[in-house]
Amino acid sequence: MSSYRQTNPAERRGFIAEMSQTERRTFIAAFGGWALDAFDFMVFTFVISTLGTIFHIDKGQAGMLATVTLLFSAVGGWLAGILADRIGRVRVLQGTILWFSVCTMLIGFAQSFDQILVLRALQGLGFGGEWAVGSVLIGEMVRTEYRGRTVGTVQSGWAIGWAVAAGIYTVAFSLLPDEYAWRVLFWIGVVPAVLVLFIRKNVPEPELYQRTRKQEVASEKPMSAWSIFSPRLLKTTVLSALLCTGVQGGYYAVTTWLPTFLKTERHLSVIGTGGYLSVIILGSFIGYLVGAVLTDRLGRRANLLIFAALSSVTIYIYTRVALSNEQMLFLGFPLGFAASGIFSGMGAYLTELFPSAVRATGQGFAYNFGRGIGALFPSLVGYLANTSGLGAAIGMFAGGAYFIVLLAAIFLPETKGKEIS
């Protein structure tokens, strides 16, 4: 009995069950926002070939449509972070969700490549802002001992949104002609706007943020958005941005080009099938959840180091070892597990690295700087592949990206258990 009493209640019942009502509602809002964000973003990956046929889009233009969203999301994430530090986390979160929902719906009405390009850019502004603000909101709202697991579990919403996008894609293209099915998928993208009603009613501003803002108003000396580049925070900002560049650059380099490599150079037919995609999504979901637990148990840096190493090993196997279709099907799980699990500790870590007055600004800049630079990795892999081969190019850029993760994690401080202020 004594050992049972000494066990943390969150370990026995689950940390979500131990949350207060406000913490739980904030968790639902952040999880739902990220899942719906993923749905709106991943829908494009399923219809890109259809768009190419209908609008006569070549591969270069298709790549531009993918890159422009990520580049503009870098801008949107930082701007949303600045606004969240000035007018509130909840208000800006609602605005970003409405923004990317409406822009996604409007893509369904597009009549040309140029219209899609502009709307994808505008969609990116909201896409980048939603994570930056939602992650700060949940990180400030939940208590310290649950922060890593909670923020990491919110990250798993991406796999849910991805799976829903895959499911609706299958249904839409089974029941409707291609020229209408792709539009329906984007029209459904307006659904996240409903989440705003839940947020308005159930999610308050974190007390920490409200207290910080009152102190700033009273002092009449609010911290500037440029404070993240002050001598006191410059090291943290630079290393955080490098960390996010490595995590996202590795992810984009692998997920963008690996299916093409396996199809064209390894001639594997399982790639692109529903079964293979399902295995990867399942691996991603489990990876997010395992990473969420590890980031609280072992620490923020340990989680990053473990998953960076796992990702490097997985990429080596994929690009250097001859594999059969059956082996590749099962190896989809460790690929999704490793590439996604590394993200679980990011939100909590960035929340704890920056002070409250510029937390959303710093977190928004670091994460979305990494996203902006990471968005260039697929193009760089493509150029290098012309001389070195696609497998070598993937390995070089992905391996280099995860090496950057290792260096940044080593030089950044451990923040596990830190009381944020």
If you search the block for the tokens 């594999």, which residue do you land on? 323
In this structure, what are the phi and psi dihedrals at residue 221, rounded to the nearest 5 degrees?
Answer: -135, 65
- Tell me how many helices (H) and strands (E) the chain has: 19, 0
Which tens digit of pLDDT belongs to each residue from 323-374? 787 787 788 889 889 988 999 888 889 999 998 888 989 998 999 899 888 8
Among the listed ranges 146-155, 211-220, 361-370, 382-391, which one has the minimum average pLDDT value? 211-220
If you search the block for the tokens 């930082």, which residue do you land on? 78
pLDDT of 114 above 90? yes
- CATH code: domain 228-414 is 1.20.1250.20
Residues 6+ apart with CB under 8 A from 141: 22, 23, 26, 206
Among the listed ranges 142-146, 171-175, 227-231, which one has the minimum average pLDDT value? 142-146
Query: Confidence band (pLDDT; 50, 70, 90) for 10?
Result: very low
Residue ranges of domains in the chain: 21-203, 228-414
What pLDDT, on a 0 to 100 scale, did the predictor assign at position 4?
A: 39
- Give the count of beta carbons closer than 10 Å to the beta carbon of residue 284: 27
> Six-digit token pair at 200?
């308005």
Q: Report residue 214 CA to chain centroid gap.
A: 31
CB distance 152 to 295 below 8 Å: yes
pLDDT of 282 above 60? yes
CB distance 151 to 347 below 8 Å: yes
Residues 6+ apart with CB under 8 A from 43: 104, 165, 168, 169, 185, 186, 189
Which tens digit of pLDDT belongs to each residue from 203-220? 998 888 888 878 776 765
pTM of the predicted model, to two decimals? Answer: 0.83
Average pLDDT in the chain:
84
CB distance 390 to 261 below 8 Å: yes
In this structure, what are the phi and psi dihedrals at residue 225, rounded to the nearest 5 degrees?
Answer: -60, -25
Q: Domain 21-203: which CATH class?
A: mainly alpha
Stronger pLDDT, 49 or 73, i.e. the higher one? 73
Give the CA distances from residue 112 to residues 56, 107, 108, 126, 185, in Å, rounded to whole numbers and listed in that order: 10, 10, 11, 22, 17
Give start and end residues of each alpha helix (H) in 265-376.
Answer: 274-297, 300-320, 325-341, 346-353, 359-374
If you search the block for the tokens 């399902």, which residue do you land on? 278
What pLDDT, on a 0 to 100 scale, did the predictor assign at position 106?
A: 94
Most confident of 60-64, 133-137, 297-301: 297-301
What pLDDT, on a 0 to 100 scale, did the predictor assign at position 221?
A: 64
pLDDT of 312 above 50? yes
CA distance 261 to 150: 36
What pLDDT, on a 0 to 100 scale, did the predictor assign at position 418?
A: 86
- Please name which of 341, 346, 330, 349 lies closest in space to residue 306, comparing C-alpha atoms: 341
What pLDDT, on a 0 to 100 scale, did the predictor assign at position 268?
A: 67
- For residues 402-408, give the mean pLDDT: 93
- For residues 52-63, give the mean pLDDT: 80
CB distance 186 to 45 below 8 Å: no
- For residues 195-208, give the mean pLDDT: 86
Rounded to a whole number of angstroms, the CA Rg of the chain reads 21
- For residues 15-37, give the mean pLDDT: 85
- Please name which of 369, 337, 379 lies closest in space to residue 159, comparing C-alpha atoms: 337
CB distance 381 to 257 below 8 Å: yes
